[in-house]
Amino acid sequence: MRSLLKVLTAIVVIVATSVTASAAAAGNPERGAVLADTCLGCHGIPGYRNAYPSYRVPKLGGQHQDYLVLALLGYKSAVRSHPTMQAQSASLSDADMRDLATYFASQGVARQGLGKTNGKIARGKEKTAVCAACHGEAGVSPTPNWPTLAGQHEDYPQQSIAQYQNGGRTR
């Protein structure tokens, strides 16, 4: 009986710790919405393009919170190369990043499902087999550290992959 009590106590402590950790990791979406005013100058305009190289800036609505924080940390630490994003993230605290990420993630849940299709898309589906473990079979990532790609502008992953290939991005 004493052993059972010890096990139950341990379970309660573990669950309580996990809940606390999750709550600490969750940001404040209301504060994030205020901070996001600057971001929405680019990310809130449908089809807005980065000047050079020219590509549409990524959609952030429905993106994973954890991934967005990692991306901002990447810009702040310069392992991601984008002068504007590096400048914007330089002054953000960890709490600011969590709040911003929570705001964008809270905009909605990515809906799963195939839209249009053609030969190029069908070829793409075959080629994403190796991507699916992290990014999900249809591009909705099951892992919060990895980005959802479903619905993203076509030229944004093209730009991202090019950066991985040329060393402009390492994570």
**Contact region with other proteins (CB under 8 A), list: 18-26, 66-74, 75-83, 114-122:** 114-122
Tell me the closest approach of the beta carbon of residue 43 to other proteins, in angstroms. Answer: 7
Q: By CB under 8 A, name the one of 31, 35, 61, 143 that touches other proteins.
A: 61
Residue nearer to other proteins on the CB measure, 89 or 148: 148
Q: Please identify, using beta-carbon distances, which residue of 92 and 149 lies nearer to other proteins.
A: 149
Residue 50 in contact with other proteins, rule: CB under 8 A = no
| Site for other proteins contains 144 (CB under 8 A) | no
Q: Please name the residue that has the structure tokens 């573990």.
A: 14
Q: Is residue 152 near other proteins by the rule CB under 8 A?
A: yes
DSSP bridge partners of 55: 50
Phi and psi torsions of 56, nearest 5°: -75, 135
Residue 84's H or E segment, with its range, is helix 83-90
Task: Please give the helix or strand (H or E) that residue 30 lies within, else none.
Answer: helix 29-35
Under the binding rule (CB under 8 A), the answer on residue 143 touching other proteins is no
Q: Which of 69, 72, 92, 149 binds other proteins (CB under 8 A)?
A: 149
Contacts 24+ apart (CB under 8 A), 20-28: 25/66, 25/98, 26/65, 26/98, 26/102, 27/65, 27/95, 27/97, 27/98, 27/99, 27/100, 27/101, 27/102, 27/103, 28/98, 28/99, 28/102
- Which residues contact other proteins (rule: CB under 8 A)? 36, 40, 43-46, 58-63, 104, 107-108, 110-117, 120-121, 123-125, 127-128, 130-131, 134-135, 138-140, 148-158, 161-162, 164-165, 170-171
